[in-house]
Structure 1
Amino acid sequence: MIDDTTDAPARRAGKREWTALAVLALPAMLITLDNTVLHLAVPHLSASLDPSGLQLLWIVDVYSFLIAGLLIVAGTLGDRVGRRRLLLFGAAGFGAASLLTAFATSAEMLIVSRALLGIAGATLMPSSMSLVSNMFHDARQRSVAFSIWIACFMVGGAIGPLVGGVMLEHFWWGSVFLLSVPAMVLLLVLGPVLLPEYRDPKPGRIDLVSVGLLVAALLSAVYGLKKLANDGAAVLPLVILVAGLALSAVFAIRQRRLTHPLIDLRLFRVRTFSTSLATMGLALFVMSGSQFFMAQYLQMVVGLSPLHAGLCSLPGSIGGVTGSLLAPVALRKMRAPYVMAVGLVIAVIGFGVLTQVDNGNGLVVVMVALGLLNFGVAPTIALGTDMMIASAPPEKAGAVSAISETCHELGLGMGIAVLGSIGTAVYRGEVSDNVPKGLSNGAVKAIRDTIGSAVDEATRLPERLGSAALDAAREAFTHGLLYVSVICTALTVLIVLMVTLLLRRDPEKPGAAVSGTDQSRELPDPQSA
């Protein structure tokens, strides 16, 4: 049955909807888990399949590339063919691709199976998020539901290294990908029974040129960002990134001229929608950029193993889950924009703690900062997502969910690329002035390149020189982390001001400004967009 009612009074969800939410939480958890376990499995699969450097790059990156590039297309497709139908189709594809990945016998087969995982994963996220909005019509219940959904998303990233480490201790590298199979089977069995179907009653035809432009633009932008983050400033990634931005402009111009656009640009004229989107993107920008450095700091400066570094990152995961779940509770006392602002103030305190990092107290400082940062940012992600979807017409929920997820991907990528480049520039400038005398040109170049190559090079040097070079590299990297922390502190203060000033007049309940029988969540007139 297709629900095309937009003006029905809000009704409270019952046991069926909350049980269905548990089913929808599975894709959210597994998408992030599937990405994090791969990093642990790379040494094992490299020994087994012997991929080239280029093949290994595609094995790692093709999954996230395709998810980022296809999210909006998948969300719009779900609005047209049915969100439950697309979710179940994606679950079947994800389970089959997981099996193919687990039993891959060559690097080429693994690249193809990872690409299929990315395509299927792109259908799961916007479908599950938009179905949450269809099941929970009461504003308070919907906020709780989205908070739980976001918490599960964070749990997947948190338990990935731990679960992956246990699996790799006892089984072959492909076993980590089998975790998705029983969950997808459960979703396929329970989904048709518990989940409602919903699609846009007047979807219009899909413009294939817009699809091509959007996919090319997003893939170019994400690829350019990832290459800049991994390899530093270079001509080719910058050209690809600029090409992606240019294609995005062409795509936007085309959408304004279409009767049935792939993305309705009028959404961005709704203040709640655009401000929530910008807030989430910037919050993820500062969080990902800082955590990119903190993860390296724990391993390269403090000297922890990957597993121990993962364990020491648990305060961040616990903070993120706690912040997500407490956000709807805080709504009983204050409006959503102020809950977000208070959380971001806590994140500012976390960045302030991080500015106190040095080589002696680093472990404790990073653990405390991670807990505060994730606790503070989580309400922005949970409530911002809710406010975005609630501010748009119900028939656009799939597309809005996909825009939200794409913003997440780009925020994470931009944070690593931009802040990573700044921190690396500080590192190289600092270490260049403190490299010990008597090293070969090759050794000096390796130490100046990255903290990872410096640690590796130090093991090849005589003990005295190696120790001096390592101390210089660690000191320089700590200064880089300090600079990034200061920048993130300032940016987060600006985000707090943006949320407080731009959303202060919004109604108490998310989406109330554009919902109800009097306004029907109508978008601005297209002639004025």
Structure 2
Amino acid sequence: MNVVTTGKREWIGLAVLTLPALLASLELTVTNLALPAIGRDLGASGTQLLWIVDIYAFLLAGSLITMGVWGDRIGRRRLLLIGAAVYGLASLLAAFAPDAGSLIAARALMGVAGSTLMPSTLSLATALFPEPRQRAVAIGVIVASVSGGTAIGPLVGGWLLAHFWWGSAFLLAVPFMAVLLVVAPPLLPEVRDPGAGRLDLVSALLSLGAVLPVVYGLKQIAADGPDVPSAAAIAAGVALGAAFARRQRALAVPFVDLRLFADRTFGVAAATLALGIFVLWGSNYAIAQYLQLVHGLSPLEAGLWTAPSAAGVIAGSLLAPRLARTIRPPVVIGVGLAVSAAGYLVLTQTGGLAVLVTGAVVVSAGLGPMMALATDLVVGSAPPERAGAAAAISSTAPQLGGALGIALLGSVITAVYRNEVSSSLPPAARDSLTTAVAVADGLPERLAAELLGTARAAFVEGFHLAAAISAGLMTGIALLIVTLLRSRR
């Protein structure tokens, strides 16, 4: 591995690494805003619109481990450049797709290419800043960049779609990737594991097969509730995951060294990332519904109201490395999670937008330290030659935890809603608040107001229960990491 002396060049290199991190969340936000125009211009069905979003998320999550391990073998800078080139090309194909099927195919390619970006970004940041304090700052900057994309996404997307056609949502990625391809080679080091051996294709397929069905099943549960196909998909993913683990233990040079999890710091930090994002994604999903279905905001307006919470993550993730210089990182994470728990308690009292936004900002500010420092603990506790695999795990854990959070916390809200309206609303409006809003659109004004009042009150009850559960989970996670890593410095 190259020995790097930290200086001005390394900090400029970090600025370069923020480009793919910023794009990761910015692109997804803008794509969601573009869906109505895509449906209108391409004649896409509701199912096709869902696949335009979901195929990207599925292949991104499923390919992260493979790409992180591949980067350890071929070089992390090389992988980043390959991914950036393919991502830019796929974005061009998406922007000029003639029909919905072509757009879905381009989005699939974008998902695979996108899975190269975050593992490469995190592992290269580790190589640029081997000193622990500076590495923590660098990872905090990357986490803040991801949140920055979420914050400015509604503004950028709204402006683009107001002035250009829907393809501009995908063309946005092209200049990011072009700049990365030009400036990355002279600024970023090439780092690889010389003893990694060849890429085991069977393990790569097993890792993909383990993650994809689980994410798919969880998303289906979140959308339609539990059913046999969703449960079967999750069970298949778990079975393939077990086969993947058995193969790694049998290989002389494993695809992913599962002994990494024997390190308490690595294992607890990865679990904290998964559990923390479990709660965050679940609550963000509920807040988005609350803003649009209870307060009647458009997707763009809802995005603007959630921007302050992204600012909370930015503040927390940038402040955390400074605090960790004098306070043990697990304590900083634990206190941050306790702050988030307090934010969720605020969300149990929501009525107006001011209370909702205040609670969401407090939640996000408390989670920022966890996202930055837990990622740093995962990547920093792994041997340098396995940084790519460790970075991939630190990216995959939140994806799985987040999908599970949306499914389970969403199911809590749905269960409460259905129980509350079981005898007060017509059958067509009892499934969810979304169906109630659709039914209300066809009713006279007075009847629609009565139906929506009942349905919205039931949804808010479920939302409050999910927020209370989230507060309890945050408290438990805080105690877990402080207890298990109390000696970590």
Shorter-chain TM-score bucket reads: over 0.9
CA contact (8 A) 2:206 2:241 kept: yes
**Is this contact kept in 1: 2:88–2:177, CA < 8 A?**
yes
The whole-number CA distance in structure 2 between the counterparts of 1:307 and 1:124 is: 27
Shift of 1:175: 0.6
CA separation in 2, counterparts of 1:53 and 1:326?
42
Q: Is residue 314 of structure 1 aligned with residue 307 of structure 2? A: yes
Distance apart, 1:12 and its partner CA: 5.7
Q: Indicate yes or no: 2:259 matched with 1:269.
A: no
CA distance in structure 1 between the aligned counterparts of 2:42 and 2:199, rounded to whole angstroms: 41
In the alignment, which of 74, 81, 87 is matched to residue 81 of structure 1? 74
* Among 84, 89, 113, the residue aligned to 1:120: 113
Specify the alignment match of 2:358 in structure 1.
Answer: 368
Secondary structure in 1 matching 2:419: helix
Matched, 1:17 2:10: yes
Aligned to 1:496: 478
Task: Indicate which of 326, 334, 339 corresponds to 2:319.
Answer: 326
Q: List per-residue Cα deviations over 1:284-334 (Å, max 9, x = no partner).
A: 111111111111111111222222222211220111111111111212331
Cα shift at 1:56 = 2.3
**2:50 aligned to which of 57, 60, 63:** 57
* 1:224 to 2:217 alignment: yes
- 1:333-352 aligned within 5 A: 333-352=326-345
1:417 matched to 2:399 = no
Q: In the TM superposition, what are the counterparts of 1:402-441 in structure 2 within 5 Å?
A: 402-435=392-425
Report which stretch shifted further, 150-159 or 45-54: 45-54
Whole-angstrom CA distance in 1 between matches of 2:360 and 2:180: 33
TM-aligned CA deviation for residue 379 of structure 1: 0.6
Please tell me whether the aligned partners of residues 229 and 418 of structure 1 are also in contact (alpha carbons under 8 angstroms). Answer: yes
Aligned mates of 2:269, 2:142 — CA distance in 1? 17
Q: Tell me the residue number matched to 2:153.
A: 160
Q: Give TM-score scaled by structure 1 length.
A: 0.91
**Given that residues 167 and 175 in structure 1 are in contact (C-alpha distance below 8 angstroms), is that contact kept between their aligned partners in structure 2?**
yes
Aligned match for 1:285, one of 267, 278, 283? 278
Tell me the amino acid that sits aligned with residue 229 of structure 2.
L
The whole-number CA distance in structure 2 between the counterparts of 1:59 and 1:351 is: 32
Specify the SS of the correspondent of 1:389.
Answer: helix
1:402-453: CA deviation from partner (whole Å, max 9, x where unpaired): 0110011111101101111111111111122332xxxxxxxx2331111112
User: Following the alignment from structure 1 to structure 2, what is the Cα–Cα distance between the partners of residues 89 and 306?
Assistant: 34
Structure 1 residue 99, shift from structure 2 partner: 0.9
Q: Do residues 392 (structure 1) and 385 (structure 2) align?
A: no
Query: Which residue does the alignment assign to 2:102?
Result: 109
Could you tell me whether the CA contact under 8 Å between 1:343 and 1:376 is conserved in 2? Answer: yes
Alpha-carbon distance between aligned partners in 2 of 1:312 and 1:56, rounded to the nearest angstrom: 24
Gaps of 5+ in 1: 6-10, 436-443, 509-529
Aligned residues: 489
Q: Which residue of 2 aligns with 1:172?
A: 165
The residue that corresponds to 2:298 in the other structure is 305
Displacement after TM superposition at 1:57 (Å): 2.4
Structure with max Cα Rg: 1
- Name the amino acid aligned to 1:451: L
| Structure 1 moving runs of 4+ over 6 Å | none
1:505 corresponds to: 487
In the alignment, residue 145 of structure 1 is paired with which amino acid? A
SS of corresponding position for 2:239: helix
How far off its partner does 1:460 sit?
0.7
**Offset at residue 216 of structure 1 (A):** 1.0
Partner SS for 1:313 = helix
Partner of 2:32: 39
The answer to whether the Cα contact below 8 Å between 1:448 and 1:454 also exists between their aligned partners in 2 is yes
Match of 1:520 in 2: none
Give 2:138's aligned residue: 145
Confirm or deny that 1:481 pairs with 2:474: no
CA distance in 2, matches of 1:376, 1:418: 22
Q: Is the contact made by 2:210 and 2:240 (CA closer than 8 Å) also made in structure 1?
A: yes
Identity %: 52
| Equivalent-residue separation in structure 2 for 1:333 and 1:356 (angstroms) | 35
1 CA distance for matches of 2:314 and 2:144?
5
Q: Retained in 2: the 8 A contact 1:447–1:453?
A: yes
Task: Kindly indicate whether residue 439 of structure 2 is the aligned counterpart of residue 446 of structure 1.
Answer: no
**Displacement of 1:340 after TM fit?**
0.5
Q: Is the 8 A contact 2:150 2:307 kept in 1?
A: no
User: Which of these residues, 419, 432, 444, is aligned with residue 462 of structure 1?
Assistant: 444
- Could you say what the CA RMSD is over the residues aligned between the two structures, in angstroms? 1.2
Aligned to 1:67: 60
Please, which runs of 5 or more residues in structure 2 have no aligned partner? none
- TM-score, normalised on structure 2? 0.98
